[in-house]
Chain A
Amino acid sequence: MELALEILPQVLLDGIVLGFMYALIALGYTMVYGVLEFINFAHSEIFVLGAFVGVEVMLLLQSAGLLDTFHPAVILLLVITTGMIISGFAAMALERVAYRPLLGGPRLVALISAIGASFFLQDGLRLFESLWRNTFYLNYPSLEYLDHTVPLAGNLVIPVKSMLVIFTALLTLAGLHFFVNRTKLGMGIRAVAQDPDTASLMGVPVKRVIALTFFVGGALGGLAGVLFGIHYSLVNPYSGFIPGLKAFTAAVLGGIGNIPGAMVGGMILGLLEAFAASYLSLITNGAFGAEYKDVVAFLVLILILIFRPKGILGETVRESKA
């Protein structure tokens, strides 16, 4: 019991960091689902692409010897913006190539195409990195500044890395909230999500709004990818699959199509996973350990879909024929 209390702050911190990452990825799923009612299965690869753009930018800076000359904040800003922009455009390109031709057809057709795109992108990244760097397991160069820790209350410390994740995510989420609810473009997204046909009659350029949604979702995924890379440092083309699946779970948990829902769902899932990873072996006396954290996440998904398919934050999805 004492041990359980002792690790609690650490577990909470891990859970919050993980939760913000899931929330950022989940937003991409949820926004696209909102406007198109379709699961963008390749979003996890957009996320990984962000991580790879980040590592490439940092490696290029390093080989140019600039990694130590600039202030870490400048470097981070550069890495994050490049990652977001490239991921956003990649998501837009994906929509143009693999989804738009299928618009209006059966939903499963688009889903299968998305799965194909996901597989294609995984190996595409691998091929590119293999030819370019002769390996596709890349390590983020460490920024010394990020490994510092800041003391919090008591003997609790918080690494700068984790703070970076939390603050960037909070800032972005606030920005997104403003964008969706206070700007004209955001209003377009909401209108298309409510009813694309009527929106189109009201003069909303539906196709462009869909492309914009993919861009915003992709940029958020790319941001999550860069943060993931900085925080866990090792990336490979296949490392998006499991986080992507969990972020989707988070989106469903919060109510798919619902933007605040994705944030709430991500946070809940992150905390749940951190708790499962640390406490499962304590509760079961070592019989089941941290390796079951993925099982817990998927069981949550299955249970939610069975008992509350609309998610925690309720109904915002149109019910239409499958």
Chain B
Amino acid sequence: MSATQAAFGLCGYVAATCLLAFLFPQSVLAFLSFQASLLLLYYVDAPRKVKLFLGASVLFVLLPALGWLNGYYLEIAIQIGIFVALALGLNIVVGFVGLLNLGFVAFYAIGAYLWAIFGSPQANAFIPGGWFPLSPNWFFVFLLLSIAVGALTGILLGLPVLRLRGDYLAIVTLGFAEVVRALMNNLDKPINLTNGPRGISPIAKPPLFFEPLLQFIGIDVPSAMLYPLYFYFLILIMVGIIILVTRRLENSRVGRAWKAIREDEVAASAMGVPVVRMKLLGFAVGASFASAVGVLFASKQVFINPESFTFMESIGVLAMVILGGMGSVPGAILGATGVTILNLQLLKGLSLWLNGLRQSGAELVIPFLGSYSLSQLPAQFEPAKYERMVFGLILILMMIFRPQGVLPPAQERKK
């Protein structure tokens, strides 16, 4: 197949699936096949310009347009974006430096609570003066601040523990995340910092600084409808920046030092790589990504509590990185997208479908065994509730059959 044919094929595929998703807004399958167009873009060999054009039009025009018509699509896209950003952050720590961090969610939580506490009336509980919630304009300041805070906590945790051997490090980071969660759960006394298990709300959304501009050109939409699109573009930009930073780091002196440490710490150190400093840097960079995403997550959710930051989330992100391929940027993106879609669309869709069957009360006739009324399907049998099982299976199967992941990094592929 020539490159031109491929280009036409791609255009046709994108147009067709977009139309399908537009015509059948309820269909999970239509939207899935539309999402698959991005994957196809990555794999198919077509002129670079065509690919770029198609990719940009999907991400910047078609998906937002579909999302405008069906808010659910946009919600999924935002969730995917958040997990892609987290997976890219963890990919630096696990994939590049080779440190298994089981408490990655702690940094995400720290970022989220940073904005949640000051972007809501919560901070009034311990800082007198009634200054809070801060005006939405502070959002971007806190986004920058969270990068610094995330990096700082990463370094503070890393300093004592990075000398540990791999599996000990994993358990200590896990313990750290549990400590952070216990603190979030319990620091509502003696001073009410986090409001405990009740969580914090309402958390301010980012400022709509472009609203006057929109009104100026004559577009007047209520801000409630603007926000999902706004968050979509924010996370898109954030993921873009993270990809850029990761790519630059990967091919730099630092990135090569990281990989050297991953392959053989002793040899790297003998070659003059400052092992501890480089490990700390990796920890800090990953943590700062997670923390920045946390700020966005908090303001998108409006309400957060410690339940959003369990060990489960850490493992979910880990499963994404491993599925995609440790140390591979496209892999992390693919893994995060795949697992999120699996979780939010496929499992939920399957649950809904089973529920439908249950309510229809249809009879399932099995030859020789008699019939079984589907209304008797146990109510507990809901695939959406078994995401742990799915994550677990992904981890075991990947480790046994393809430890390098679906899209391993380039050097690995050569081997």
Closest to A249 in B: B175
From B161, B186, B385, B394, A116 is in contact (CB under 8 Å) with B394
Tell me the residues in window 129-175 of chain A with beta carbons closer than 8 Å to chain B beta carbons: 130-131, 134-136
From residue A234, how far is it (CB to closest CB) to chain B in Å? 18
Residues B170 and A119 in contact, CB atoms below 8 Å apart: no
Q: Is B375 an interface residue (CB 8 A)?
A: no
A309 neighbours in B (Cβ, 8 Å):
164, 168
Residues B100 and A112 in contact, CB atoms below 8 Å apart: yes
Q: Is A201 an interface residue (CB 8 A)?
A: no
Residues A119 and B399 in contact, CB atoms below 8 Å apart: no
Residues A123 and B182 in contact, CB atoms below 8 Å apart: no
A115 neighbours in B (Cβ, 8 Å):
102, 315, 318, 392, 395
Residues A302 and B161 in contact, CB atoms below 8 Å apart: yes
Residues B189 and A305 in contact, CB atoms below 8 Å apart: no
Measured between alpha carbons, how far is A178 from B400 in the docked complex, in Å?
A: 37
B392 neighbours in A (Cβ, 8 Å):
115-123
Q: Is A292 an interface residue (CB 8 A)?
A: yes
B176 neighbours in A (Cβ, 8 Å):
298, 302
Measured between alpha carbons, how far is A109 from B247 in the docked complex, in Å?
A: 25
Question: 1/0 per position for B172-209, CB-CB distance to A under 8 A?
Answer: 10111011001101100110000000000000000000
Q: Is B3 an interface residue (CB 8 A)?
A: no
Residues B161 and A123 in contact, CB atoms below 8 Å apart: no
Residues A248 and B167 in contact, CB atoms below 8 Å apart: no
Residues A245 and B175 in contact, CB atoms below 8 Å apart: yes
B381 neighbours in A (Cβ, 8 Å):
127, 130-131
A111 neighbours in B (Cβ, 8 Å):
100, 166-167, 170
With known contacts A111-B100, A241-B311, A302-B172, A295–B182 Cβ distance under 8 A: yes
B266 neighbours in A (Cβ, 8 Å):
321
Q: Is B215 an interface residue (CB 8 A)?
A: no
B102 neighbours in A (Cβ, 8 Å):
115
Interface size class for chain B? 35 or more
Residues A39 and B400 in contact, CB atoms below 8 Å apart: no
Measured between alpha carbons, how far is A240 from B392 in the docked complex, in Å?
A: 16
Residues A299 and B378 in contact, CB atoms below 8 Å apart: no
A321 neighbours in B (Cβ, 8 Å):
266
From B166, B168, B183, B395, A305 is in contact (CB under 8 Å) with B168
A123 neighbours in B (Cβ, 8 Å):
386, 388-389, 392
Q: Is B349 an interface residue (CB 8 A)?
A: no
A124 neighbours in B (Cβ, 8 Å):
389
Measured between alpha carbons, how far is A113 from B393 in the docked complex, in Å?
A: 9
From A107, A121, A130, B166 is in contact (CB under 8 Å) with A107
From A107, A119, A291, B388 is in contact (CB under 8 Å) with A119
Residues A306 and B100 in contact, CB atoms below 8 Å apart: no
From A105, A119, A136, B391 is in contact (CB under 8 Å) with A119
Tell me the residues in window 315-374 of chain B with beta carbons closer than 8 Å to chain A beta carbons: 315, 318-319, 322
With known contacts A39-B167, A245-B174, A302-B160, A112–B378 Cβ distance under 8 A: no
Interface centre among A97, A111, A299 (most CB of B within 10 A): A111
Closest to A100 in B: B400
Residues A127 and B386 in contact, CB atoms below 8 Å apart: yes
B165 neighbours in A (Cβ, 8 Å):
322
Q: Is B32 an interface residue (CB 8 A)?
A: no
Residues A116 and B391 in contact, CB atoms below 8 Å apart: yes
From residue A131, how far is it (CB to closest CB) to chain B in Å? 5
Closest to B182 in A: A295
Closest to A301 in B: B175
Residues B378 and A134 in contact, CB atoms below 8 Å apart: yes
Q: Is A38 an interface residue (CB 8 A)?
A: yes
Residues A105 and B403 in contact, CB atoms below 8 Å apart: yes
Residues A291 and B395 in contact, CB atoms below 8 Å apart: no
Tell me the residues in window 222-260 of chain A with beta carbons closer than 8 Å to chain B beta carbons: 241-242, 245, 248-249, 252
Measured between alpha carbons, how far is A102 from B379 in the docked complex, in Å?
A: 37
A252 neighbours in B (Cβ, 8 Å):
168, 171
From residue A290, how far is it (CB to closest CB) to chain B in Å? 10
Q: Is A14 an interface residue (CB 8 A)?
A: no
Q: Is B75 an interface residue (CB 8 A)?
A: no
Measured between alpha carbons, how far is A110 from B397 in the docked complex, in Å?
A: 12
Q: Is B2 an interface residue (CB 8 A)?
A: no
Q: Is A66 an interface residue (CB 8 A)?
A: no
Measured between alpha carbons, how far is A108 from B174 in the docked complex, in Å?
A: 15
Residues A113 and B400 in contact, CB atoms below 8 Å apart: yes
Residues A291 and B186 in contact, CB atoms below 8 Å apart: yes
A118 neighbours in B (Cβ, 8 Å):
392
Question: 1/0 per position for B144-167, CB-CB distance to A under 8 A?
Answer: 000000000000000011001111
Q: Is B411 an interface residue (CB 8 A)?
A: no
Residues A39 and B171 in contact, CB atoms below 8 Å apart: yes
From residue B166, how far is it (CB to closest CB) to chain A in Å? 5
Q: Is A287 an interface residue (CB 8 A)?
A: yes
Residues A322 and B166 in contact, CB atoms below 8 Å apart: yes
Q: Is B39 an interface residue (CB 8 A)?
A: no
Contacts A116-B391, A298-B176 known; 7 new A-B pairs at CB < 8 A: A113-B400, A116-B393, A120-B396, A127-B386, A248-B171, A309-B168, A321-B266
**Which positions in A face B, CB cutoff 8 Å?**
38-39, 97-98, 101-102, 105, 107-113, 115-124, 126-127, 130-131, 134-136, 241-242, 245, 248-249, 252, 286-288, 291-292, 294-295, 298-299, 301-302, 305-306, 309, 321-322
The 9 nearest A-B residue pairs measured at CB: A116-B395, A120-B392, A130-B380, A119-B392, A123-B389, A298-B175, A116-B396, A113-B399, A287-B190
